Chains A and B, each alone.
Chain A
């Protein structure tokens, strides 16, 4: 089995490449975009194929002779959509048998009543990113219907060795900006990077694929508070968290959806963002220009009064918003459910290799890697750590 790994310079792609190198009967090929992030491959003199997902020609040598392709790429909207089209076309041209695509649990956004979610739930986008991931999944499933075997794996936040997500958690805790909803009882959904790579290998090897999508998690039953306590235990530190309530979190992150009304819809329609989008059309742009010129001719007071009545006054954030909280990170705690890995267990034979506790320990060990070399200077390096009195002075 010859496997092209797109995005092999990233965390998942890189760990997968290392894993597959040691796997019997699999020969991985590292496909990378630019040289900026290839250090883990370069330092071992690993061969790499440079390819631009937006340039289909560069994918030809990348996929040549490959039986399987794993898409771990990330990028902007154009890369996510056009790039994926090129990947699928490249797979077809190269006669690739199976395409494994990394999606995200975020395609199951929005509020759900269930305590445990299965892949049978309808997808829904709660963010622009989720919308892109759903469109990607649609393209992959369409390719699946047209002859290429496809598997879509949906991980939550990726934890463990060298995890960027865990680095964010750690830094936010050190800085005292970690908000905890519902006293930390909300489910902590994460997957160790090597559990995910294990699942990808299973998806490469499994004889046939029973369903289009699979959740891949650590199968944990922990809450966010458990994660904080585990990090405290492993590091010997005490972290001060900020209690926040769900309503406040929803309000700050824009999750609270206002009730609809005709007036609000009109306001939305004439908002500058919408008008800017409409001005992309030449006829609508001309109409918009005429309306604006008409309004500009009104006396000053009338014009601003009209503007205020349509757009409303400038909103001032509520006084009780605590700006020191990392709201983007806290947002993960809006999820009240876990993602079931029962289907992955049954169809792929997936069983998490590392528990969430193992995964957290592996992150802490990674952070401390090479620290023996810094003995005698720990106190000075501590002054450069997140949350120190100096950093952010």
Chain B
């Protein structure tokens, strides 16, 4: 009989309860082999709630040899220690995004994964959405022709409230809205457009994690430069989505999982929704993005391959974010010193 994949969940906080645990419980090939948390009361309560009998532990050392892989969903600054310990012991890991709180911590993870030669991935779950994968393919294949400019925005009044409140401190989160929210789009952006050759970064941090951030990029691509402006907010509602100014026309790509790119042709005419045919669809459309992400990790472990988003790609995002942090300028500055416009930039 096929043995189930014994999964450890490291950190029994909100993202585990709302995303990783439901995904694991819904996959027949996966069983919860261990729950690890310093808050044992909560971990035991969760095990009871779901009728689980996993190994209960307060440190990752206690689960070595007992599981086939682990999802690390602790506060960001704790990712590295847990991941390095597990990787050194031969336990594959899937690390909740962002990879770590600092570049140095991320480097330790990448190095340990390289030395261990076992699967190590980072949880950029939106990459497992059908529509995101399809849009990435269109961009990379040049479907829209040359992309001159694009913008992206995402903003909510508050939002995700982890039990540990790690998001309120730069030391534990590594940053603010950029580390917590923007990192998803930045990962996709790097995947689609490559590393920008130039960036400008502004935020409103005054000693703590930034609540608002604006960034501008320039990419050198075949066919000419592409420039971009992105804004992220934790204090105001912004309709999430991306708009691209392309040779074929204006393209809108919303943030919903069922949003497909909409093209307003440059020559006028009706808006066209671009949808994939069967060949471009990802397998298992009935699964949600967290289920797909976990299934990919399990298959990577079974097949001895990299997960779809390996830790090296998580490190690339982390490096871009921290390079921007290092060059940060206050948001209010623009009122005194207007920026050059896009034409000058490109």
Instruction: Point out residues on A near B: beta carbons under 8 Å.
Output: 9, 34-40, 42-46, 48, 50, 162, 164, 167, 370, 372-377, 380-381, 383-386, 389-391, 393
Q: List 25 A-B contacts (CB under 8 A).
A: A35-B165, A35-B166, A37-B158, A39-B158, A42-B169, A43-B209, A44-B207, A44-B208, A45-B207, A370-B214, A370-B331, A374-B231, A376-B341, A380-B151, A380-B243, A381-B231, A381-B243, A384-B151, A384-B153, A384-B252, A389-B264, A390-B252, A390-B262, A390-B264, A391-B241
In the complex, what residue of chain A is closest to B200 when comparing beta carbons?
Answer: A373
Those 5 A-B pairs whose CB atoms lie nearest each other, nearest first = A376-B342, A36-B161, A37-B158, A39-B211, A35-B165
Within 8 A of A (CB), among B199-230: 202, 204-212, 214, 216, 227, 229
- Cβ-defined partner of B339 (8 Å) among A43, A164, A373, A381: A373
| Inter-chain contact B151/A393, CB cutoff 8 Å | no
Contact of B236 with A by CB under 8 A: yes
Having A372-B335, A381-B153, one finds 11 other A-B pairs with CB under 8 Å, namely A35-B168, A36-B159, A37-B161, A39-B176, A44-B207, A162-B235, A370-B334, A377-B149, A381-B243, A384-B151, A393-B254
B2 located at the interface, meaning its Cβ lies under 8 Å from any Cβ of chain A in the complex: no
Bound complex: CA of A38 vs CA of B245, how far in Å? Answer: 36
Q: Confirm or deny: B145 has a beta carbon within 8 angstroms of a beta carbon on chain A.
A: no
Interface pair A373/B159, CB less than 8 Å apart: no
Contact of B209 with A383 in the complex, beta carbons under 8 Å: no
Query: For residue B252, which residues in chain A have a CB less than 8 angstroms away from its CB?
Result: 383-384, 390-391, 393
A384 CA / B259 CA spacing, docked (Å) = 14
Closest to B244 in A: A380
| Chain B residue contacts of A390, Cβ below 8 A | 241, 243, 250, 252, 262, 264, 271
Cβ-neighbour of B243 out of A167, A373, A383 (below 8 A): A383
Q: Which of B224-267 contact A (CB under 8 A)?
A: 227, 229, 231, 234-239, 241, 243-245, 250, 252, 254, 262, 264
Question: B239 to A377, Cβ gap below 8 A?
Answer: no
**Chain B residues closer than 8 Å to A385, beta-carbon distance:** 239
A275 vs B325: C-alpha distance when bound (angstroms): 60
Partner of A384, one of B243, B338, B342: B243
Check: B345 CB closer than 8 A to any chain A CB.
Answer: yes
Q: Contact: B241 with A44, CB < 8 Å?
A: no
Q: Does B183 contact A (CB under 8 A)?
A: no
Set A40, A43, A50, A374: member contacting B214, Cβ < 8 A: A374
Q: Say whether B235 contacts A375, CB under 8 Å.
A: no
Q: A376-B342, A380-B150 are in contact. Are A44 and B206 (CB under 8 A)?
A: yes
Most chain B CB within 10 A, of A35, A43, A374, is at A43
Partner of A43, one of B162, B208, B231, B250: B208
Q: Tell me, in angstroms, the Cα distance from A87 to B149 when the chains sit together.
A: 53
Instruction: Evaluate contact between A373 and B208: CB separation under 8 angstroms.
Output: no
When chains A and B are docked, how far (Å) is the Cα of A9 from the Cα of B167? 14
Min Cβ gap B313→A in Å is 27
B34 proximal to A (CB < 8 A): no
Write the chain A residue with the least CB distance to B212: A370
Whether A43 contacts B342 in the complex (CB less than 8 A), given A383-B250, A390-B243, comes out as no
Q: Is B143 an interface residue (CB 8 A)?
A: no
A-B contact count (CB 8 A): 138
Do A164 and B157 touch across chains, with their CB atoms under 8 A apart?
Answer: yes
Q: Is the CB of A36 within 8 A of B264?
A: no
Query: In the complex the two chains form, what is the Cα distance from A262 to B85 in whole Å?
Result: 75
Cβ of A39 and Cβ of B234 under 8 Å apart? yes
**Inter-chain contacts of B186 with A (CB < 8 A):** none
Q: Which residues of A contact B212 (CB under 8 A)?
A: 370
Q: Which residue of B lies closest to A48 (CB)?
A: B168
Expressed in whole angstroms, the Cα–Cα distance for A70 and B339 within the complex equals 42
Nearest B-chain residue to A374, judged by Cβ: B229
* B277 interfacial contact with A, CB 8 Å: no
Interface contact B239-A376, CB-CB below 8 Å? no
* Residues on A with beta carbons closer than 8 Å to the beta carbon of B241: 384, 390-391
Question: Would B162 and A372 count as touching, CB distance under 8 A?
Answer: no
Residues in B whose Cβ lies below 8 Å from that of A380: 149-151, 229, 243-245, 250
Smallest Cβ-Cβ distance to A391: which chain B residue: B239
CB distance from A239 to the nearest CB of B (A): 18
Complex contacts, B153 vs chain A, CB 8 Å: 381, 384
B residues in contact with A391, CB < 8 Å: 239, 241, 252, 254
B216 touches A373 (CB 8 A): yes
B residues less than 8 Å from A40 (CB atoms):
211, 235
Measured CA separation A380–B339 after assembly (Å): 17
Contact of B168 among A42, A372, A373, A376 (CB under 8 A): A42
B177 within 8 A of A: yes
Q: How far is the CA of A35 from the CA of B165 in the complex (A)?
A: 5
Note all chain B residues with C-beta closer than 8 A to A164.
Answer: 157
8 Å CB contact of A36 from B158, B208, B214, B236: B158
Which of B202, B239, B343 lies at the interface centre, i.e. has the most chain A CB atoms within 10 A of its CB?
B239
Least CB distance, B255 to chain A, in whole angstroms: 10
Question: Which residues of A are found within 8 Å of B341, using beta-carbon distances?
Answer: 375-376
Contacts of B177 in A (CB 8 A): 39
CA distance A390 to B261 in the complex (A): 10
Of B205, B236, B238, B345, the residue contacting A376 (CB under 8 A) is B345
> In the complex, A268 Cα to B219 Cα: how many Å?
66
